[in-house]
Amino acid sequence: MQIFHNPNYNFLRWRWHALILSWVVIAAGLGMIYFKGLALGVEFSGGTMVILQFDQAPTIDTVRQALDAEKVGGGGQNIVVQRYGAESDRRVMVRLPHTGEEQGTGLTRMADEVVKALNDAKVGAFKVVGTQVVGPVVGRELTQKGISATIFSLLGLLVYIGFRFKLSFGVGAVVATFHDLLVTLAFLAFFRYDMSLNVIAAILTVTGYSTNDTIVIFDRVRENLRGMRRDNIDDVVNASVNQTLGRTVITAGTVLMSVIALYIFGGEVLRGFAFTMIVGTITGTYSSVFIAAAIVTFWRGKGTPRVPAPVAAETVVKKSTKKSNRAS
């Protein structure tokens, strides 16, 4: 399936614009994380999450007032109460920080207190449809493992691509992947999605997807370096990106359609995962073209990438003949 017929876009012309845009987004995201923090799911922060389904949808303020009255979870801003899923589902999520014991019945005490407080306040008939409880030690352990998995994946990419291609290619791929990670975290901070295990899984999936897209472009660059000996590296990279453009658009488009459908129809549990995949797919495609390729051009400079092609054998024979005639 051919989408573009002999495309010849000058992508590298916009590399500085792309780098500035990326830095603006990343700086804004880091500022948001610094001042407001990154929303952590129960898996990492530790605590209790209870999902309630009501016969008649209550207001969020009514549920919060009932919990504050009983001082559940310490009351006040320590409690997170929000609608869960579509409004027609009549579901409410209550999340409380972990306090007290970390084992035995202490882990389920908070969930029982939530149910008791709402029953005492007579907010309406409801049932518990889901409960998740994670202690602080487990949360810290999951946080360390999530960070370690991301760091080791980046190091593995650097080693593999540096060995398979060249060091400049490996650095470009790792910088692009790190860029994707920071941009994704920025958008998670902007839209206040919780950092959960599902989101970590999406981030690692996006890392692999972005790297695969980058390797396809780099492989074409390596092939073109042999045939375009007299061209500078900018021309070689531009030609390679254009040659793989159709494949890039088809791959990114099909992935996007899938994750958008998952975001719309997958329910609240998968919404954070799908959102992360949407952002990661877009930024992964963008970084393969504008970030990874740009790093290679910066690293290798603007000179000719290889020595000029060797002189043809026929020319050598002619020169030898001329010298023989002169000697005679």
pLDDT at residue 43 above 50? Answer: yes
Confidence (pLDDT) at 315? 47
Tell me what the mean pLDDT of segment 97-119 comes to.
69
Residues facing residue 131 across a β-bridge: 50
Which has the minimum average pLDDT: 152-156, 282-286, 302-306?
A: 302-306
Residue among 184, 244, 239 nearest 214 (CA): 244
Distance of alpha carbon 306 from alpha carbon 230, whole angstroms = 7
3-state helix, strand, coil in the chain (%, to 5): 70, 10, 20
Distance of alpha carbon 204 from alpha carbon 201, whole angstroms = 5
Cβ burial, residue 75 (10 Å; 0-12/13-18/19+): middle
Tell me what the mean pLDDT of segment 106-112 comes to.
71
Q: Which of 18-32, 98-112, 217-231 has the highest mean pLDDT?
A: 18-32
Task: Provide the pLDDT confidence category of residue 314 given band limits of 50, 70 and 90.
Answer: very low
10 Å Cβ neighbour count for 46? 21
Six token digits for residue 190: 């902007």
Is 296 within 8 Å of 221 (Cβ atoms)? yes
Name the residue with tokens 């500022």: 31
Q: Which domains does the chain have, with CATH numbers?
A: 11-37+139-300 (1.20.1640.10), 47-134 (3.30.70.3400)
Is 115 within 8 Å of 66 (Cβ atoms)? no
Residue among 8, 27, 22, 29 nearest 291 (CA): 22
Task: Provide the pLDDT confidence category of residue 148 given band limits of 50, 70 and 90.
Answer: confident
Could you tell me how many helices (H) and strands (E) the chain has, helices first?
Answer: 12, 4
Distance of alpha carbon 143 from alpha carbon 40, whole angstroms = 10
Q: What percent of the chain has pLDDT over 70?
A: 84
Is 234 within 8 Å of 306 (Cβ atoms)? no
Tell me what the mean pLDDT of segment 72-81 comes to.
68
Q: What is the pLDDT of residues 226-256, one digit of tens each?
A: 887 777 888 888 999 999 988 888 989 999 9
Largest Cα span, the chain: 118
| Predicted TM-score of the model (pTM) | 0.77
